[in-house]
Amino acid sequence: MKLNIAKLPGDGIGPEVVDQAVKAVDAICRKFGHEVSYTYAPVGACAIDECGSAYPELTHQTCLESDAVLFGAVGDPRYDNDPTAKVRPEQGLLAMRKQLGLYANLRPVETFKSLIHKSPLKEELVDGADFLCIRELTGGMYFGEKGRTDGGDTAYDTNIYHRYEVERILNLAFEYAMRRRRHLTVVDKANVLESSRLWRQIAQEMAPQYPDVQTDYMFVDNAAMKLITGPKFFDVIVTENTFGDILTDEASCVSGSMGLLASASVGEHTSVFEPIHGSYPQAAGKNIANPLATILSAAMMFEYAFGLMEEGKAIRAAVSASIDSGVVTEDLAGDGKAFSTSEVGDWVAEYIANN
Ligand code: IPM
Ligand code: MN
């Protein structure tokens, strides 16, 4: 197969971790006989520096013309504490999501046996937890009308959802539930928010079409607690943009490290594969960041964008092997030796080549 991949490393540790994912992709392509090409494009703070926009038109065109996007991270401390900044790196990510129509963000949470002790939660609570968070990604407060009134002293962000936006994400969620353990939890705040009541109404309308799926409804505050007290309860979680942002960071604690969580954003155009951890500027350029989430995002890319399941499995096997062999970066090393970002990447690529 010919794979045309847009490579958007972005800021902070993005370039380092994407480099390691590229090594894994190259190793897979050599092994399985695929032809791969990468087209680099700037996004985030580096794009602002280069061309004044966090998601330049040329980057968008590159994404549209590619079969998949491998994305690192965006963000830069230069902008974080400046509420007056006119352009921000994060706008690049949001613009990309909107313009590519990436309305669904899939964040699987799994546990690795040999890392269970790294979770801040009790071992017996997390051992065997395995769920998929589906976050709506192009609606809600992130994109609703926002602004200031009252001479700047009043600010608002509108949490708005249209029926078609809710229907398409719930559809996807029911379909994923069918392919998994057939248990869907719709997370909302229907006791307070009108937009949540629309979500719940539509979910209740759709549920009878999926009689094999057990559908529950859970308020987001309760879900936040349940993720910590009983994560094994969940199979597929579906929720709106802001709740999903918060709950998926929380959910990452279940697997022991943010450095392990991969994600796929899918929708109307090219899909984007990225780690959930962000740009981690303190570690940028130090060759210490954990590349496994990005490597696992590449596994998702093979599975979701190309339907190449064996290839995805081979990457996952290599990642598990690196964890089991203690070839991990400092965030996971504990008392053992900490390997560098590139050493972990090289080891994973070697493993793919030789197994
Ligand atoms: C994420 C990030 C982004 C978000 C930021 C960087 C805009 O936190 O992908 O979860 O809030 O969606
Ligand atoms: Mn987030």
pLDDT tens, N- to C-terminus, the chain (355 residues): 999 999 999 999 999 999 999 999 999 999 999 999 999 999 999 999 998 999 999 999 999 999 999 999 999 999 888 888 888 999 999 999 999 999 999 999 988 888 888 788 999 999 999 999 999 999 999 999 999 999 999 999 999 999 999 999 999 999 999 999 999 999 999 999 999 999 999 999 999 999 999 999 999 999 999 999 999 999 999 999 999 999 998 998 888 777 889 999 999 999 999 999 899 999 999 999 999 999 999 999 999 999 999 999 999 999 999 999 999 999 999 889 999 999 999 999 999 999 9
Protein residue with least CA distance to atom 4, ligand 1:
245
Q: Considering only CA atoms, which residue is closest to atom 5 of ligand 1?
A: 90
CA angle 176, 178, 183 (to 5 degrees): 90
**At CB < 8 A and 24+ separation, what contacts does 81-90 make?**
87/48, 87/52, 87/53, 87/54, 88/54, 89/10, 89/11, 89/44, 89/45, 89/47, 89/48, 89/54, 89/279, 90/44, 90/54
Atom of ligand 1 nearest to the CA of 248: 10
Cα(23)–Cα(20) distance, rounded to whole angstroms?
Answer: 5
What is the CATH code for 1-107+260-355? 3.40.718.10
Going by C-alpha positions, the residue among 343, 284, 300 that lies closest to residue 105 is 300
Domain ranges of the chain: 1-107+260-355, 120-255
Residues with a catalytic annotation lie at: 142, 189, 221, 245, 249
Class (C level, CATH) for 120-255? alpha beta
Quick one: which atom of ligand 1 is closest to the CA of 74?
A: 6
Ligand 1 mutation target, pool 93, 143, 157, most atoms within 8 A of CB: 93
Here the contacts of 153-156 (C-beta below 8 Å, separation 24 or greater) are none
CATH topology of 1-107+260-355 equal to that of 120-255? yes
State the amino acid at position 133 in one-letter form: C
* Gap between the Cα atoms of 212 and 215, Å rounded: 9
Residue whose Cα lies nearest atom 9 of ligand 1: it is 276
